[in-house]
Structure 1
Amino acid sequence: MTKRLKLVDILALGFMTFAFFLGAGNIIFPPQAGMLAGDHYTAAMIGFLITAVGLPLIGIIAVAVAGGGWKGLTRDLPTGVATLMAVLIFIIIGPAFAAPRAGLVAYEIGFKPFLSAPGQLELGAFSVVFFAVAMFFSLSQGKLIDTIGKFLTPLLFAALAILAIAVIINPQGDVVAAQGSYVENALTTGFLEGYNTMDTFAALMFGMLIVDVIRKKGIEDNKATCMYLIYAGIIAAAGLAFVYVSLFYLGSTASVVAQGTQNGGEIMAAYVDALFGPVGQMILAAIIGLACLTTVIGLVSACADYFSSLTSWTYRRWVVVVATVCAVVANVGLKQLIAISIPVLFALYPVAIALIGLTFIRRWLPNPALGYRLVLGVALLFSLLDAAKVMGADMSAFSFLPLFDVGMAWLLPTLVAMGVAKFVGSRANALAEA
């Protein structure tokens, strides 16, 4: 008899999946995008939801379909290439961008609003203390942080739900006109903005953890595992979508109370202060500060665990190194860190998307090894053009490429490569047999 999960177990699994993705980037980017999108925020929000909700959840399902986690996803690639991809992803979601960004969000929302004249000294001091605490919990590998997490995510969601209701009932301004690229290309700009959450990378690396939770509940059948994973995905998607929609609307009505702000963290802080005053600001600061801390602990631990498996260094040594690098990187400031990360995400996100797509069409590829090399190579080549353009290089010679003007030159060539892979592989097999 096939074991089934109870409804309460399915809901718990969905809430855990939601908690996996609700981090710093999920909170700071929607307000910023909503503010810039203005009266085009609906189209921008749809684009954002595709990359910030849809792709990560599809990525988790891809991990389950592939079987074996990262090794299953990349089994048709050379071992060295697969390892390099994993290292780059862990660096991105760890010490280079995601972990320092979480610390900076904690600073922007949880500490900076209470300072009279915040500067580099205050940011430096906060970074040292914040990442020292994260390092301590990562080294101890105790259960305290798990206990905090069980109460923290519901509290964070409840706080965001209260904020969403307050924004709808009492918006702090009118929706103004769209700005920048949101004027003409709101949908694609929102799509690209969703890269910043980095959740597709996280899904590829941590999706198997969710599968393990299902397995530990006694579910061994692959079809049942995928089914429950989809259920959990729908629940998590609903929660994330609710958060994003409300924060997009918050940003679109924040032009009055958030004048002069430079990032989503400052927009959130200004809006909460306008709605609830200092008390509300303190409560939100505490909850988001703890949420960012648990996120950093998870990222530092995951990076240290993976890097220790590749080198002779111990887990504890890697924790110290990763946490120290995070503290140093965090001192560049939130706005600067986001600016630095954008070209990297433009270069590598399409490759992750292509890898997810290949997982679902692999069964139809007569030569998966050749197909994976072709498709991922094309995705990387054209995504590098988009990344170079974002960095400010003169790429006008490639303006003839479809969707190049909106930063998605990789899309059509990658789709074409997927189609070609089937026929090229078939021919290669026929020649080999002859």
Structure 2
Amino acid sequence: MNQRLKLTDIIALGFMLFAFFLGAGNIIFPPLAGQLAGQNLLPSMGGFLLTAVGLPLSGIIAVAIAGGSWEHLTKDLPKKVSTIMASLIFIIIGPAFAAPRTGLVAYEMAVKPLIHAPSSTTLAIFSVVFFAIAMFFSWSRGRLIDMIGKLLTPVLFLCLAILAVSVFIAPQGDIMPAQQAYATAPFTTGFFEGYNTMDTFASLMFGILVVEGLRSKGITEEKATTKYLISAALIAAAGLAFVYISLFYLGATSFSIAAGSDNGGEILSIYIQALFGNYGQFVLSVIVTLACLTTAIGLLSSVSDYFSGITRLSYHYWVVIIGVICAIVANVGLSQLISLSVPVLFALYPVAIALVILAFVRNKLPNPTLSYRVVLLVSLMFALIDAAKIVGLDVSFFNFLPLFSDGMGWVLPTLATLLAMFFVGSSDESLLEEETA
């Protein structure tokens, strides 16, 4: 059997993955971060790129190394724990937060400015239409590469390229001094801003979806699957970095025309209006709608694929169920949705990061089973403490932890535990299996 893809299919695969990642948070967070970072643009952008590009790229590669499935990625964990972890992540990136946010951002930035009298009714109507379209494209998993990678993404990328070139050729202001946390801790602040894209979560799931796409093209051998999955990840990462850098610079040069803006969506809207005049809102609407729609399609497809695998309901039933829930949740409102998602992100993001790191070093660990269980448990425990601080609970007892004040109290305990696992012999694995039997 032929295990080779044409160059156009490889590019389409990378474009599809890029489009899946480039959604709501990827557009609304960088402009505001760039404006606040000001003259600290480079370190802030570096921190953001680390979590918003580097970690998702690592996540895709981890999926490839692990064999292209969630089961292979978490084979050293108890099956129930693996299922609960995957279900929580899929719920977060699916109907609870990320997927509804794509519809909300598309409405707020692409449709609302064009409506004379926007209301909760117009939001409800748009949510139904938006997620109905997403369900339509999600219906056939085998055609995702052709529909997304060869149809929607090239249009999206062309619009983004035009915007990026315009921003660098005709910046709308000078770069001002850094503000707020970006003035004192630009790198770590940018690092946490990258959390909000949720792309490390999504990478673990989108990687599996790409594997399904490869199978539809006749690629079934593990070596070929790994090669093309990594190729797609590199294309997607390059595209994301290109977009983020241009949006950060857009934000950094926006102060004179968009000072005091509450969010990156508002900054982006004002900036594009200044660049393109009367056509500005049309350009913005096309970019935002396509970006949010392609991500919604990826999320619906991956979430439905997972839950159809662990339940008796078919993939198509789950597409409808998840799509309807997303349309309902989208009416909660953008600000409320983001505020609800932050504590959950702080609790589970470190676990996803630890899982990615473990996938890279698994073959070097004397006792992978024990290592996975202990390292992930430690990362979760300390991440929950960071999350508790976010919601306002008094956790000052843990101030002695390095990086705790920056919301990274989990880092040192997790790394220390991981290093310790390199000195735990295989004999301990037999003991663990006896105790858990």
TM-score, normalised by the number of residues in structure 1: 0.90
Secondary structure at 2:58 match in 1 = helix
Within a 5 Å distance, the mapping from 1:208-247 to structure 2 comes to: 208-214=208-214, 222-223=222-223, 225-247=225-247
Report the number of matched residues.
433
Aligned to 2:257: 257
| 8 A Cα contact 2:64 2:230, kept in partner | no
| 8 A Cα contact 1:383 1:410, kept in partner | yes
Aligned to 1:170: 170
| 8 A Cα contact 1:44 1:189, kept in partner | yes
Which segments of 5 or more consecutive residues in structure 2 lack a partner in the other structure?
Answer: none
Q: Deviations over 1:109-130 (max 9, x none)?
A: 2112223454444333322332
Paired residue type of 1:24: A
Paired residue type of 1:23: G
Paired residue type of 2:237: A
Secondary structure at 1:402 match in 2 = coil
Aligned to 1:154: 154
| Residue 292 (str. 1) matches residue 292 (str. 2) | yes
In 2, the alpha carbon distance for the partners of 1:51 and 1:166 equals 26
| 8 A Cα contact 2:131 2:324, kept in partner | yes
In 1, the alpha carbon distance for the partners of 2:130 and 2:9 equals 34
Displacement after TM superposition at 1:108 (Å)? 1.8
| 8 A Cα contact 2:145 2:213, kept in partner | no
In 2, the alpha carbon distance for the partners of 1:3 and 1:146 equals 18
Displacement after TM superposition at 1:256 (Å)? 3.0
| Residue 61 (str. 1) matches residue 67 (str. 2) | no
| 8 A Cα contact 2:206 2:302, kept in partner | no
Q: Deviations over 1:402-427 (max 9, x none)?
A: 00011111111111111112323456
Which segments of 5 or more consecutive residues in structure 1 lack a partner in the other structure?
Answer: none
Q: Which has the larger displacement, 117-126 or 325-334?
A: 117-126
Q: Which has the larger displacement, 375-384 or 255-264?
A: 255-264
Aligned to 1:281: 281
Q: Deviations over 1:39-70 (max 9, x none)?
A: 21211111111111111111111111111410
| 8 A Cα contact 1:108 1:266, kept in partner | no
In 2, the alpha carbon distance for the partners of 1:117 and 1:325 equals 26
Displacement after TM superposition at 1:374 (Å)? 0.5
Displacement after TM superposition at 1:320 (Å)? 3.5
Displacement after TM superposition at 1:291 (Å)? 3.4
| Residue 374 (str. 1) matches residue 374 (str. 2) | yes
Paired residue type of 1:360: F
Summarize the Cα distance change of 1:362–1:112 in structure 2 as closer, same or farther, 3 Å threshold. same
Aligned to 1:336: 336
Within a 5 Å distance, the mapping from 1:379-418 to structure 2 comes to: 379-418=379-418
Q: Percent identity?
A: 64
In 1, the alpha carbon distance for the partners of 2:305 and 2:209 equals 14
| 8 A Cα contact 1:113 1:269, kept in partner | no
Within a 5 Å distance, the mapping from 1:57-136 to structure 2 comes to: 57-116=57-116, 118-135=118-135
Secondary structure at 1:47 match in 2 = helix
Q: Deviations over 1:143-196 (max 9, x none)?
A: 699536522211111111111111112212222222222111111111111111
| 8 A Cα contact 1:18 1:235, kept in partner | yes
Secondary structure at 2:205 match in 1 = helix
| Residue 21 (str. 1) matches residue 21 (str. 2) | yes
Aligned to 1:424: 424
Displacement after TM superposition at 1:73 (Å)? 0.5
Summarize the Cα distance change of 1:139–1:13 in structure 2 as closer, same or farther, 3 Å threshold. closer
Summarize the Cα distance change of 1:416–1:95 in structure 2 as closer, same or farther, 3 Å threshold. same
Summarize the Cα distance change of 1:69–1:141 in structure 2 as closer, same or farther, 3 Å threshold. closer
| 8 A Cα contact 2:142 2:213, kept in partner | no
| 8 A Cα contact 1:103 1:330, kept in partner | yes
In 2, the alpha carbon distance for the partners of 1:123 and 1:150 equals 30
Q: Deviations over 1:224-270 (max 9, x none)?
A: 54444444333322221111000001111222332453222222112
Displacement after TM superposition at 1:273 (Å)? 1.1
Q: Which has the larger displacement, 66-75 or 220-229?
A: 220-229
| 8 A Cα contact 2:101 2:334, kept in partner | yes
| 8 A Cα contact 1:51 1:195, kept in partner | yes
| 8 A Cα contact 2:386 2:409, kept in partner | yes
Secondary structure at 1:375 match in 2 = helix
TM-score, normalised by the number of residues in structure 2: 0.90
In 2, the alpha carbon distance for the partners of 1:350 and 1:401 equals 16
In 2, the alpha carbon distance for the partners of 1:130 and 1:235 equals 27
In 2, the alpha carbon distance for the partners of 1:6 and 1:347 equals 41
Aligned to 1:36: 36
Summarize the Cα distance change of 1:38–1:280 in structure 2 as closer, same or farther, 3 Å threshold. same
Secondary structure at 1:111 match in 2 = helix
Aligned to 1:347: 347
Displacement after TM superposition at 1:214 (Å)? 4.9
Q: Which has the larger displacement, 115-124 or 214-223?
A: 214-223
Aligned to 1:52: 52
| 8 A Cα contact 1:257 1:271, kept in partner | yes
